[in-house]
Every structure is written in C-alpha cells, then in structure tokens.
Amino acid sequence: MQSNLSLNTNQIPFFNSVARHDITVDSGTWRSGKSFELCLFLILRMKDYPGVREFMGRKTLKSLKETTFLKFQEVLTDHFKLVEGRDYFVNRSSNPTITIPNGSVCVFGDLDINTIGKWLSAEYSDIAVDEAQEICQLSFEKIKSRQTQTIIEKLSGGKKKNKFVMAMNPPEIADQHWTHKRFRDVTTKIKNSNMIYSRIEGNKENIPETYIEDMYDSVDTRTAEIYLKGNWTPLLSKLVYSDYSLPKDNMGNYIEGGNLKHLKYDKDLESYFFMDFGWTHAMSIGCWQYDRYNDIFYRLYEYVESNTKPETYCKFMMGEFIEHNGNRYQSPFDNKVASIIVGFEARQSRQEADGQSNIELIREIFNNNNFRPTIYVSNPGIQSGIIAVRRHILTAGGHRKLFIDPRYNKRFLRDVMAYHYPTDKEGNVVSEEPEKDGICDNTQDEARYGIGYISPIISNAVMVQKR
C-alpha cells in the first residue's frame, strides 16, 4: 500500500500536532486541505494497525456521503493507487463503511444530536469529524465517549495512542462557539488538545485558476479575511451592516447612490415577497426582485405596519390597494407572479388567530380568494443570514449586489442604521449576536430570511463559480 502524495504547508503542522496531542482541531479556510488530511490520517492508521475500527463523522449523513466519503475513496484511488473491489471494499448503504483486506474498517456516520444514537453502540479506535463547526458540543462529547483507549496502544506496543481529529471552518461568532472554550480558551480547554489554523495560501497548488478572484466577488471583506487567512476575526464595527452606503442630500433625504437606486418592476426578473412575522403580527413585507444571473437583489417597495390582520397583508400580496394608519399601499406585483418567503426563528410556528399559525392562516385566506401562491419557509440562522446579506451589500471585490429604492424604503433605511451589536460602557463590542430591540430589526430580519434562502453564503464544499 504505497502512497503517492505530498503534504501542503497546512498539513505538516496538523500531523505534527497529531503526533503530540490526543485531540487536534484544524480550524481553517475551505480548500486548505482539511478533509484530505482527515482521510489520509485514518487511512494510514487502518494500514498500520490491522483490524482497527475507525470512525469518520459529519453532522448529516447526506452531506458526509456527498463530500468526505467520496474524498476518502479518492485518496485511496488517486494517492495510494488502490482498486475498489480488490484493494478496498465500499459499502454505500445507510450504514456506509470502507474496509481494507487486513480487516481494518472505517465507519461513516452522522453526528446530528437526534440521530447520533445509532453510532454509539460500538467503540472506535480513532475518530475524525469533518465540518465540526456544524455539530453541537453534546454530539462531540457523545462520540468522544465511544473512543476505546486501548486498541492502538496495544497494537503499537505502547508507543501510540488513539487520536481524535477534527476539521472546521472558523465560525462567524468565534468566541461564542462551543469550540472556543473546549479548544481555544487556555483556562477551559481540554487537556492535551491543540487547535491549529490553516489558510488557503498553504494550498495554492490545488486552487483552480481565478478561484480567489471569484471568491472576492462573492463574499464581503470580513468573510474573505476569515476564509483566506483562517482568522477568527474580531468584530470591527458596532453596526451589523457597516458597508451600506446610504447617501443623503442637504435636506436629509435619501438620494440615489451606493446601495440606493430608483427602481422599476422588471418582468424578466424573479419576484418575491420576503416576510418577517414577528411574534404576533406580520411586521415587515418587502417586495423584492432577484437577478439570478448576476446574483443581485432589488428591494422595490415595503409594507411595514404592526398590529395588522392577516387579511390585510394578504390583500396587499394579492395586488389590491390597502389603507392602514392613514397610509395607502399597493405592491408593484402580486403573488400570481411572486413567490413568498416567510421566516421563522425559534418557536414561532403558532402565533396568531387563537393558536393557528400565521403560515396556515394566510394559506387559508389565499385559498378562499382562489390564489395558490408558492410559499417557502426560511430559517438560515441569524449569523448565516447576516453573512448572506453582508456579502451582497458590498463584496470584497468592491461590487454592490443589493439595492433598495429610497422612495419606498424609509423604514428599511432607518432599521439598517439601528441594527447593531451590543457594547459595554466603554463602547467595546461584547457580542456578535445583534441587539434586537423588538422594533428596529423587522425589515432586517425580512432581508435575512429572503436573501439567506435564495442566495446563502457559499458552502466550503462548493467551488466558487465565475458568473
């Protein structure tokens, strides 16, 4: 089982750390070679210690089978020049495994806290977790408890120990993620554990041409800093969306420029209603269009009123004129041409009408009016949604991909400037979880739900495509 491979500059520190520590966490950017090193480590252990039972996990089995499971086979075939069915054997069932002729096997399993139980009935020698930022701490503790402490030690004559290795992207809320206390904070970290930091520069030979250029056009500056350099970047601004450009004239009125543009309905673009329900009423409905080819969002119009009955905002989305609090509203399109994207956070499924959920209530109203709109439910998570919006406001390459009409978006513009991170008495940002005062966040929630659903942050498993 001879290998034909060379380690990049990120992977050498990883294997040095594995030799010295019981637990090694590689926190780095995508395409820095983290998944490759996990696969290589387990393959080398299977080769050196006949009969061992290894484990490779990720949060969901579907994502694991579509990524790391395939990478494992790629390493066996391309780097060790092995032939499936002769030199290694693949079981692609709902309990996937890869076995080599000396009796060593690698089990592939999901680490979702609701389904992890099926992998806890066995013990494993070494354990690897890919995309560890996706799993919760309890999942980590549970699978860690299934690691036997004796097999490798016996097979090596006391020279080696079982290892636990993880690969993860630096999470956006770095100091709040559970891995911070377990692997970064010197006062609370696990004994004999070590976190190393990989970056994309260490693996340039495996990066496609124009990859970094394309990435810069797809993410905001702060996210690019994290991805390219593997930094756990500190928060630099009190505003959630500090890159918004919202110019005003001498009278204080918003004028065109930056993210502001006078807009008209374009029948050739996709149309959407983005909705934030709030806890008791629909607090914000934005009329958006999406240029999918250029990945650009346009917010043409808004209906933002509290204490509004569902019948009223359904009429608005059906294209009717409505009057509320002395204001007159009409959407530039109706839901015969526009889909509805509704956001839910936490337990907001039953909110109104004597316990009937808002989503079911508006479906009923639409049905009674012979409307059959397409409705999607979105919950990208606060930070994921923020990143998706941020990377459209202004990319690291300097391109703006989110525009709002200053004539009809006064509430939205006000909320942008109010959406902020909490600070201490000295004005230092103390959390990357936004401050939500219950008033100045509804339009921003609406934007997160819609943009986060249609054009979420790039997955580390997907190469950036040039548009």
pLDDT digits (tens, 9 = 90+) for 228-249: 776 665 556 788 898 999 999 9
What is the sign of the dihedral through the CA atoms of 151, 156, 160 and 164?
Answer: negative
Q: Indicate the SS3 state at residue 123.
A: coil
Neighbours of 294 (CB within 10 A): 9
Residues 64 and 185 in one domain: yes
Main-chain dihedrals φ then ψ at residue 210, nearest 5 degrees = 70, 10
Confidence at 99, pLDDT banded by 50, 70, 90? very high
Which amino acid would we find at residue 462? V
pTM: 0.70
Residues 197 and 280 in one domain: no
Domain boundary among 207, 226, 256: 207
The rounded distance, in Å, linking the Cα atoms of 265 and 210 is 34
Residues 42 and 125 in one domain: yes
Q: What is the largest CA-CA distance in the chain?
A: 83
What is the sign of the dihedral through the CA atoms of 361, 365, 367 and 372?
Answer: negative
User: In this structure, are strands 105-110 and 322-324 parallel, antiparallel, or unpaired?
Assistant: unpaired
Comparison of pLDDT for 61 and 348, the residue scoring more: 61
pLDDT at position 458: 56
Which amino acid would we find at residue 61? L
What is the sign of the dihedral through the CA atoms of 435, 131, 207 and 199?
Answer: positive
Q: Supply 422's token pair.
A: 């909490």
What does the DSSP assignment read for 160-219? Answer: ----EEEEEPPPSSGGGSHHIIIII-TTTSPTTEEEEEE-GGGGGGGSPTTHHHHHHTTS
The rounded distance, in Å, linking the Cα atoms of 273 and 331 is 10
Does residue 232 sit within a domain? Answer: no
The rounded distance, in Å, linking the Cα atoms of 366 and 360 is 10
pLDDT at position 172: 61
What order do you get walking across the sheet with 193-198 strand by strand?
89-91, 97-99, 105-110, 53-58, 127-129, 164-168, 23-28, 193-198
Residues 21 and 148 in one domain: yes
Q: At what angle do helices 34-48 and 11-20 cross, to 10 degrees?
A: 50
User: In this structure, are strands 284-291 and 270-276 parallel, antiparallel, or unpaired?
Assistant: antiparallel
- Strands (E) in 304-418, as ranges, are 322-324, 327-329, 338-343, 375-378, 402-404
Neighbours of 255 (CB within 10 A): 14
Residues 202 and 274 in one domain: no
Contact 148, 162 (CB under 8 A): yes
Q: For residue range 256-271, what is the model confidence (pLDDT) as tens digits?
A: 999 999 999 999 999 9
Q: Indicate the SS3 state at residue 43.
A: helix
Domain boundary among 157, 182, 207: 207
User: In this structure, are strands 23-28 and 164-168 parallel, antiparallel, or unpaired?
Assistant: parallel
User: In this structure, are strands 89-91 and 97-99 parallel, antiparallel, or unpaired?
Assistant: antiparallel
Does residue 257 sit within a domain? Answer: no
Strand partners, 3: none
Does residue 229 sit within a domain? Answer: no
Does residue 410 sit within a domain? Answer: yes
Residues 39 and 133 in one domain: yes
Confidence at 358, pLDDT banded by 50, 70, 90? confident
The rounded distance, in Å, linking the Cα atoms of 345 and 446 is 11
Comparison of pLDDT for 421 and 307, the residue scoring more: 421
CA distance to 104, 224, 416, 429, 433, per residue, from 238 (Å): 53, 19, 12, 6, 11
Query: Residue 107 belongs to what domain range?
Result: 11-207
What is the sign of the dihedral through the CA atoms of 211, 212, 218 and 223?
Answer: positive
Residues 175 and 31 in one domain: yes
Contact 318, 422 (CB under 8 A): no
Q: Indicate the SS3 state at residue 57.
A: strand
The rounded distance, in Å, linking the Cα atoms of 333 and 318 is 8
User: Which of 318, 380, 316, 377 shows the shortest CA–CA distance to 349?
Assistant: 377
Q: Judge whether residue 462 has pLDDT over 70.
A: no
Q: For residue range 279-308, what is the model confidence (pLDDT) as tens digits?
A: 555 578 999 999 999 999 999 999 987 777
Per cent of the chain over pLDDT 70 is 88
Does residue 71 sit within a domain? Answer: yes
Confidence at 461, pLDDT banded by 50, 70, 90? very low
Residues 198 and 292 in one domain: no
Tell me the pLDDT of the chain averaged across its residues. 86
Contact 246, 418 (CB under 8 A): no
Residues 15 and 162 in one domain: yes
Q: Judge whether residue 66 has pLDDT over 50.
A: yes
CA distance to 162, 216, 406, per residue, from 301 (Å): 59, 30, 9
Residues 196 and 284 in one domain: no
Q: For residue range 5-16, what is the model confidence (pLDDT) as tens digits?
A: 678 888 899 999
Q: Judge whether residue 153 has pLDDT over 70.
A: yes
pLDDT at position 355: 45
Residues 299 and 165 in one domain: no
The CATH number given to whatever domain includes residue 105 is 3.40.50.300
Residues 409 and 283 in one domain: yes
Comparison of pLDDT for 284 and 463, the residue scoring more: 284
Does residue 125 sit within a domain? Answer: yes
The rounded distance, in Å, linking the Cα atoms of 200 and 16 is 19
The rounded distance, in Å, linking the Cα atoms of 295 and 269 is 11
Does residue 150 sit within a domain? Answer: yes
pLDDT at position 279: 56
Does residue 2 sit within a domain? Answer: no
Question: What DSSP character marks residue 257?
Answer: B
Q: Supply 28's token pair.
A: 């780095």
H helices present in 284-357, as ranges: 310-317
The CATH number given to whatever domain includes residue 406 is 3.30.420.280
Number of domains into which the chain is organized: 2
Max mean pLDDT among 160-164, 275-279, 345-349, 463-467 falls in: 160-164
Domain boundary among 170, 190, 207: 207
Given its phi and psi angles, is residue 184 left (phi above 0), alpha (psi -120 to 50 degrees) or beta? Answer: alpha
Neighbours of 379 (CB within 10 A): 17
